[in-house]
Structure 1
Amino acid sequence: MREGVVALCAVLIVSGCAGVEPRTGRGSSRVLRQGATFAPDDAAERRRTPGTRPRQGGDPIAPLTHEAVIAVLEEVKGTLDGIARTLPRLAKNTKGLGDSDGVFTRYTDYGASQLPWLRGALARATSLTDDAATVEDMDMRSGILRLTGPRIEAAMSGAMLLATWLDFLRLAEVVRQECPYYGVERLFVDLDRVQRQMEPAMTALASLDPEEVEATATAMPGLMGQLTREFQSIQDGARGAMERGGRVVAAAQFLEMLTLVSALKATLPRPPPAAPVMLGVGLMMGSGGVMMGSRIVVTAEWVERMRTLVQAGVISAPVVSAAVRIHAGQVLMAQANQDLPKGVRDALGDSPEVRAMRETGRAGAGMSSAPKHHVLPQEHREWFERRGFKGEMDIDQFCVRLEQSHHEAIHGGGDWRLGRLWAKEWNQNIMRLLRVSESDTGRLLTRDEILKIVATEMRRFDIPMTFSPGKRR
């Protein structure tokens, strides 16, 4: 099946949202069933249907999700370690470029300044993963693992951008060593322009805000397309300068070397006479992974890992689709950030009004988001802190978005003061159950014991265990 990138994205979304039935026998194969029952991410809220209620028996996918999260974190950590080893050497080699110490140091410093937040995101995701492993209730464990999603997406996209920035620094190093005809001032302007293009995305990812991270990660193909064009432009300029200096053969070798060592090599055109990647080039799913022609774009193991994370709700299908497009090199034709999808634009026709339209979420359209409900009552924050809810397991992490009517119903109506008079009001009910349980055991409840009680009540109140960080009041 040779399809364009849009078809591949659709396949990833469908396969990523499919549930996996447990094996019925030693030699039996997995059977996929469709399980996409939630509202789109842009809606920022979930509609309650029978399919959205967590299973009473626990989530059999939780162990697979745990393994997939660990594997992704290790992969990103390896990338960051490699970058951290390379930056000091580049800083040393470019320190005196153009007889102006410190001019290029700012660019290596910019790369080094991204490492702390990237490692911090990995550390926070690792901490949540370790904490999830201690939780007995499988639905609650899956809910905690989903909290790692924004951190994983930010780390994956941030590491990719940082590796790309490293490519530009390598390019600057090689250009100054091998191409003295390319002016230092021109190279300085080039790097400054690239940094300005990259900085907004880095800032959004570093915020670790789920909505900003999601939007930035989904728009990565467009940004990588811009950066690829910048990289290619500098390459072509350096090659032209060398050819004007009479070094034609050296110029060809120079271009080929840069293309091979670059992390952007998938998106860069091959040495002449190859042409840039076009939309007509098909992607296929084979036994070895996703392939473009004879080249493996991503391995089957990577696809399976991403499918597990999408299925568990840890990361979103659009983010995975964007990553595949980048690996496949299909970024040069990526649509502008937040442009209407091509099918929608074709249906509406061509006009200034349609060209001005942009795809946006509820907030961008002026609509209020669904309220966030603190599962663990905020007024008892200190009570929970004494029982281990600190750091990455702070009670602000355990928030869920509910429809306004659902949120009011569990709190006893629109007036919270009157709602507190109802014994089954959520906050009153949870604290009563926890205190009774603590009185029965004669000791402080552990964090896992508290989460087990809360998970039971969330199932009873039909509250999905899809947590997202909330704000402290």
Structure 2
Amino acid sequence: MGGALWVPVAAPAVEPSSERQQATQVRQALFGALAGVERSAKGISGSLSQLAGRERLGGRANGAFDRSIGYGTHQLRWIQSALGGVASQANAAWEVEAPDMELGILHMSGPRLQAAMSGATLLAAWLDFLSLADVVLSQCPFYSAEKLLADVRRVQSMIEPSMTALASLAPGQVEATAVAMPGLMGELTREYQSIREAVREASERGGQLMAAAQFAEMLTLVSAMKMSLPRLPPAAPAMLGANMRMGSNGVMVGTQLVVSAEWMEWIRRLVQVGVLSVPAAGAAVRIQAGAVMMSQVRQDLPQGVRDALGDGPEVRGMHETGKAGAGMAQRPRHHVMPAEHREWFEKRGFSGDMSIDEFCVELELAHHQALHGGGHWRLGRTWPREWNQMIMSVLREAEAVTGRMLTRSQILKIVARYMRNYGIPMNFTSGRRR
């Protein structure tokens, strides 16, 4: 009922691939991960609608819980919007005939996908608490509605900072929140069990004739806790499968770890090209496996899991982001499609999730200045090979030759060619101010 992330079971074939095949495989992995989150979001939407009915949580306690249901609906909107953005970018990538540009566009979708994955997981947990409240209100009259409402609001305060960070879609905030998710899920699991225990004690004190075991079973069945809120280990925090191997049924297994080989392959491919980072992917694996390291959120993943994700020095090097990690000032962001010609690009399809602001690259200061003809931008604009002057001249000439507006994919193919010539990496990052 909590709508936790869906994990398929069949394992895909892995074959050597050219750059074009690699882009195709990455796009397939992206759509595979996307489908799972979409399925989760659809389930959450249906459950929230049910809880909003007059005979359910929305109609009890004089509507006191309506805002709690509305909070879930509000969070669902940005998750669905982020998923739509991922799909739009993946479809746009497919239209481009330059594999390196295609991979660059797929790379852009990483923060949206990670935000949606983490947001759906948190929202599934939130739904568990609302479902718990629904059962308590109808079956447990000795636990006051006022206390229950306070419990729900306390849980919302635990979730809210992470939801806000994820909804921003800002890469740094999304990454930090995703990495911290196992710890938060552990806290939510403890909170769920604490509320359940308090309800049980209140019922016993009130003389309600319900066996404790039966009561606990009822509340557990109401929740999708097996999927969204992982079970607490019996004693100390459990270590995630240190000895990972492929089971006979095509499932990656190990001590305390069971995730599908197909899902792991999707995540591995997305990690290898930088769509997802190893820390964020590792956090997702912990949560999907239901074996959260409750106390040591940043503890290294076991080697077996790191191998399955394709982790190595070259992969880890791709994800050192932010000026703090690099020990230097933040590098300038270069719009590969000049911002002063925004309207020209918008008329040719660069808006919304494919805005020119999504096509920025971080460059070393010297490289950025060289592209623009030196440190003085006004003088630089007079140099014919200055990036903005050159790319607009090329694009306009191409339109004159074809006799019509260039399509978005045609523009991207041309831009990709000149990015290679100027040594500009196709590691796009958003230049929006959020």
User: For this structure pair, what is the TM-score category when the shorter chain's length is used for normalisation?
Assistant: 0.7 to 0.9
Task: Check if 1:95 corresponds to 2:95.
Answer: no
Counterparts of 2:326 and 2:428 in 1: how far apart (Å)?
Answer: 24
Task: Check if 1:279 corresponds to 2:238.
Answer: yes
Please report how far the alpha carbon of residue 170 of structure 1 lies from its aligned counterpart in structure 2 after TM superposition. 0.9
Counterparts of 1:233 and 1:22 in 2: how far apart (Å)?
Answer: 51
Render the CA deviation track for 1:214-265: whole Å, top value 9, x for unaligned: 1111111111111111101111212223344556863212223433453332
Deviates more, 1:164-173 or 1:419-428: 419-428
Aligned residue in 2 for 1:154: 115
> Which of 79, 98, 103 is residue 118 of structure 1 equivalent to?
79
Aligned residue in 2 for 1:178: 139
Task: Check if 1:188 corresponds to 2:149.
Answer: yes
Q: With the length of structure 1 as denominator, give the TM-score of the two structures.
A: 0.77
Aligned residue in 2 for 1:22: 16
Deviates more, 1:442-451 or 1:149-158: 442-451
Where do 1:192-203 residues align within 5 Å?
Answer: 192-203=153-164
Counterparts of 1:73 and 1:360 in 2: how far apart (Å)?
Answer: 24
Aligned residue in 1 for 2:253: 291
Where do 1:257-272 residues align within 5 Å?
Answer: 257-265=218-226, 268-269=230-231
Counterparts of 2:94 and 2:48 in 1: how far apart (Å)?
Answer: 35
Where do 1:184-263 residues align within 5 Å?
Answer: 184-245=145-206, 250-263=211-224
Please report how far the alpha carbon of residue 403 of structure 1 lies from its aligned counterpart in structure 2 after TM superposition. 0.9
Render the CA deviation track for 1:69-103: whole Å, top value 9, x for unaligned: 11222211111111111112222312354xx3111
Please report how far the alpha carbon of residue 201 of structure 1 lies from its aligned counterpart in structure 2 after TM superposition. 1.0
Task: Check if 1:377 corresponds to 2:371.
Answer: no
Letter of the aligned partner of 2:344 in structure 1?
W
Q: Secondary structure at the match of 1:400?
A: strand
Please report how far the alpha carbon of residue 458 of structure 1 lies from its aligned counterpart in structure 2 after TM superposition. 0.9
Aligned residue in 2 for 1:86: 47
Contact 1:146–1:466 under 8 Å retained in 2 = yes
Please report how far the alpha carbon of residue 276 of structure 1 lies from its aligned counterpart in structure 2 after TM superposition. 4.6
Please report how far the alpha carbon of residue 145 of structure 1 lies from its aligned counterpart in structure 2 after TM superposition. 1.2
Please report how far the alpha carbon of residue 117 of structure 1 lies from its aligned counterpart in structure 2 after TM superposition. 1.2
Aligned residue in 2 for 1:13: none
Contact 2:333–2:361 under 8 Å retained in 1 = yes
Task: Check if 1:311 corresponds to 2:272.
Answer: yes
Counterparts of 1:366 and 1:281 in 2: how far apart (Å)?
Answer: 32
Where do 1:71-82 residues align within 5 Å?
Answer: 71-82=32-43
Contact 2:93–2:105 under 8 Å retained in 1 = yes
Q: Residues 133, 364 of structure 1: CA spacing in aligned structure 2 closer, same or farther, 3 A cutoff? A: closer
Please report how far the alpha carbon of residue 189 of structure 1 lies from its aligned counterpart in structure 2 after TM superposition. 1.2
Contact 1:259–1:268 under 8 Å retained in 2 = no
- Paired residues in the alignment total 396
Counterparts of 1:322 and 1:121 in 2: how far apart (Å)?
Answer: 20
Counterparts of 2:381 and 2:96 in 1: how far apart (Å)?
Answer: 30
Q: Residues 126, 200 of structure 1: CA spacing in aligned structure 2 closer, same or farther, 3 A cutoff? A: same
Counterparts of 1:96 and 1:378 in 2: how far apart (Å)?
Answer: 51
**Structure 1 gaps, min length 5:** 1-19, 24-56, 343-358
**Structure 2 gaps, min length 5:** 1-13, 302-319
Contact 1:269–1:277 under 8 Å retained in 2 = no
Please report how far the alpha carbon of residue 58 of structure 1 lies from its aligned counterpart in structure 2 after TM superposition. 4.5
> Which of 73, 86, 89 is residue 128 of structure 1 equivalent to?
89
Please report how far the alpha carbon of residue 320 of structure 1 lies from its aligned counterpart in structure 2 after TM superposition. 0.9
Letter of the aligned partner of 1:286 in structure 2?
M
Counterparts of 1:407 and 1:151 in 2: how far apart (Å)?
Answer: 27
Counterparts of 1:173 and 1:263 in 2: how far apart (Å)?
Answer: 14
Task: Check if 1:431 corresponds to 2:392.
Answer: yes
Counterparts of 1:316 and 1:306 in 2: how far apart (Å)?
Answer: 10
Counterparts of 1:102 and 1:21 in 2: how far apart (Å)?
Answer: 56
Counterparts of 1:111 and 1:250 in 2: how far apart (Å)?
Answer: 32
Counterparts of 2:210 and 2:261 in 1: how far apart (Å)?
Answer: 39
> Which of 327, 348, 351 is residue 387 of structure 1 equivalent to?
348
Letter of the aligned partner of 2:238 in structure 1?
L
Q: Residues 332, 190 of structure 1: CA spacing in aligned structure 2 closer, same or farther, 3 A cutoff? A: farther
Q: Residues 258, 327 of structure 1: CA spacing in aligned structure 2 closer, same or farther, 3 A cutoff? A: farther
Q: Secondary structure at the match of 1:61?
A: helix
Q: Secondary structure at the match of 2:428?
A: coil
Contact 2:345–2:356 under 8 Å retained in 1 = yes
Contact 1:289–1:296 under 8 Å retained in 2 = no
Counterparts of 1:195 and 1:405 in 2: how far apart (Å)?
Answer: 46
Letter of the aligned partner of 1:373 in structure 2?
H
Counterparts of 1:361 and 1:138 in 2: how far apart (Å)?
Answer: 27
Task: Check if 1:334 corresponds to 2:302.
Answer: no
Q: Residues 235, 387 of structure 1: CA spacing in aligned structure 2 closer, same or farther, 3 A cutoff? A: same
Render the CA deviation track for 1:418-459: whole Å, top value 9, x for unaligned: 222322211122122223323333333222222111111111
Letter of the aligned partner of 1:331 in structure 2?
V
Counterparts of 1:430 and 1:218 in 2: how far apart (Å)?
Answer: 39
Please report how far the alpha carbon of residue 292 of structure 1 lies from its aligned counterpart in structure 2 after TM superposition. 4.5
Letter of the aligned partner of 2:163 in structure 1?
M
Please report how far the alpha carbon of residue 160 of structure 1 lies from its aligned counterpart in structure 2 after TM superposition. 0.7
Render the CA deviation track for 1:153-177: whole Å, top value 9, x for unaligned: 1111111111101000111112233
Please report how far the alpha carbon of residue 373 of structure 1 lies from its aligned counterpart in structure 2 after TM superposition. 0.2
Counterparts of 2:241 and 2:104 in 1: how far apart (Å)?
Answer: 37
Letter of the aligned partner of 1:285 in structure 2?
R
Q: Secondary structure at the match of 1:451?
A: helix
Q: Secondary structure at the match of 1:139?
A: helix
> Which of 155, 168, 173 is residue 129 of structure 2 equivalent to?
168
Q: Secondary structure at the match of 2:104?
A: helix
Identity, % of aligned positions:
54
Task: Check if 1:452 corresponds to 2:390.
Answer: no
Counterparts of 2:97 and 2:326 in 1: how far apart (Å)?
Answer: 41
Contact 1:205–1:212 under 8 Å retained in 2 = yes
